[in-house]
């Protein structure tokens, strides 16, 4: 573990040199020595030390107390004051800066070492608490989004199911066989949508908690992709065209995790179909290169705005141009997690109105 790096802010040259020698003897690193608040702020911005030893009275108009307050606000840096003053007025100024330590000159090495270690440990504890609070806030936000999405996505399918169940109360002659069949199909589709939502939530929980086991096995990838496409092609009005590059033989196998790959490609194909016009073509390219396999899915759909692409793989995030197209915003988050578990990469190229291309690259 590398030693903590410390910036010395002291306007007395002899004292500054003595402090530097003391720190080096204690095993710390020294990023530099400055004699003014302005120079200290500039050094912090450039060097990003782990801690600052700050004299209160410095050259220039700004005091060490004012500089410490700026450092804490802008960089969350721990500051320990070194001063020859211990009067009530000075202590009152120091308290306002919320320092991590206060040493009165002259001091011995033991006091300096103990104060620095306590300051560094306190700083790490504060950062840990802050990270925990941020994670809790993110979790609470995700829970709120989940409740909102689920309530919205379940309402319409449940209405369709209830309406179809109401048909049982009507005599057979009230509806034609075609009409009755249509209502039943709507109910089945609604149940499938609700089931898919629950499946997505469960998968998302597994991937985020890393409960998925990465289990690569020899997989004949071409036949796998052909089988994967078949149900999509049967139900969709778009044409899915599968092409290959670099395969030495149709039955060539690669060590891949079939479950993870199925989640990745199913979600990408589903999105391509969902956001593309009827009758359009979806290109599915399987590319074998040196020590890697690429899966590229290109559609001619609504595309994704540049501002949306930065948040595209966040849970529950949906593009600004999706309109009334149903969805939960979980599909691409699942894809991203599965790609990372597979130690791969995913990229996207898109513009609104011209379609989208997702490329998944997996190492072999």
pLDDT at 261 over 60: yes
pLDDT at 148 over 70: no
Task: Verify that 226 and 201 share a domain, yes or no.
Answer: no
CA nearest 159: which of 180, 197, 186, 185?
186
Task: Verify that 199 and 235 share a domain, yes or no.
Answer: no
Is residue 38 situated within a structural domain? yes
End-to-end CA distance of the chain: 34
Task: Verify that 79 and 155 share a domain, yes or no.
Answer: no
Q: What is the mean pLDDT of residues 50-75?
A: 87
Task: Verify that 307 and 358 share a domain, yes or no.
Answer: yes
CB 1 within 8 A of CB 48: no
Q: What is the mean pLDDT of residues 67-78?
A: 88
**Which of 9-13, 151-155, 271-275 has the weakest average pLDDT?**
151-155
Domain total in the chain:
3
What percentage of residues in the chain have a pLDDT greater than 70? 91
Per-residue pLDDT at 236: 79
pTM more than 0.85? no
Per-residue pLDDT at 153: 64
My answer on whether omega of the bond before 127 falls inside 30° of 0, hence cis, is no
Task: Find the CATH number of the domain harbouring 285.
Answer: 3.30.565.10
How far, CA to CA in Å, does 20 sit from each of 7, 63, 78? 9, 21, 18
Per-residue pLDDT at 181: 78
What residue numbers bound the domain in which 13 lies? 5-107
Is residue 128 situated within a structural domain? no
Q: For every residue of 179-234, which 3-state class applies, written as one string?
A: HHHHHHHHHHHHHHHHHHHHHHHHHHHHHHCCCCCCCCEEEEHHHHHHHHHHHHHH
Top mean pLDDT of 7-11, 166-170, 178-182 is at 7-11
Q: What is the mean pLDDT of residues 218-244?
A: 91
Task: Verify that 201 and 263 share a domain, yes or no.
Answer: no
Task: Find the CATH number of the domain harbouring 82.
Answer: 3.40.50.2300
Domain boundary residue among 107, 132, 166? 107
Task: Find the CATH number of the domain harbouring 170.
Answer: 1.10.287.130
Is residue 284 situated within a structural domain? yes
């Amino acid at each position: 573990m590398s030693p903590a790096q410390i910036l010395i802010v002291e306007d007395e040259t002899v004292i500054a040199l003595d402090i530097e020698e003391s720190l080096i003897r204690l095993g710390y690193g020294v990023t530099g020595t400055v004699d003014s608040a302005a120079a200290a702020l500039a050094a912090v911005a450039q060097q990003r030390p782990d801690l600052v030893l700050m004299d209160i009275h410095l050259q220039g108009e700004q005091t060490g107390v004012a500089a410490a307050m700026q450092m804490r606000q802008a960089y969350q840096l721990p500051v320990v004051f070194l001063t020859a003053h211990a009067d009530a007025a000075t202590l009152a100024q120091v308290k306002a800066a919320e320092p991590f330590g206060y040493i009165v000159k002259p001091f011995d090495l033991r006091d300096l070492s103990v104060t620095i270690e306590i300051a560094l440990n306190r700083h790490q504890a504060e950062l840990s608490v802050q990270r925990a609070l941020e994670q809790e806030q993110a979790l609470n936000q995700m829970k709120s989004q989940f409740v909102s999405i689920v309530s919205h996505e379940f309402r319409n399918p449940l209405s369709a199911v209830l309406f179809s169940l109401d048909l049982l109360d009507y005599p057979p002659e009230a509806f034609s066989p075609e009409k009755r069949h249509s209502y039943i199909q709507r109910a089945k589709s609604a149940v499938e949508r609700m089931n898919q939502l629950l499946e997505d939530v469960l998968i998302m929980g597994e991937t985020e908690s890393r409960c998925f086991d990465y289990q690569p096995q020899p997989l004949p990838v071409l036949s796998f992709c052909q089988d994967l496409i078949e149900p999509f092609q049967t139900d969709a009005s778009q044409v899915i065209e599968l092409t290959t590059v670099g395969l030495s033989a149709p039955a060539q196998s690669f060590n891949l995790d079939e479950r993870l790959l199925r989640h990745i490609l199913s979600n990408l194909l589903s999105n391509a179909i969902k956001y593309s016009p009827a009758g359009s073509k979806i290109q599915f390219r399987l590319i074998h290169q040196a020590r890697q396999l690429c899966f590229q899915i290109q559609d001619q759909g609504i595309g994704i705005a540049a501002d949306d692409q930065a948040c595209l793989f966040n849970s529950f995030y949906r593009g600004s141009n999706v309109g009334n197209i149903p969805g939960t915003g979980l599909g691409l988050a699942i894809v991203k997690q599965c790609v990372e578990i597979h130690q791969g990469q995913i990229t996207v190229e898109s513009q609104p109105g011209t379609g989208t291309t997702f490329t998944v690259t997996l190492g072999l």
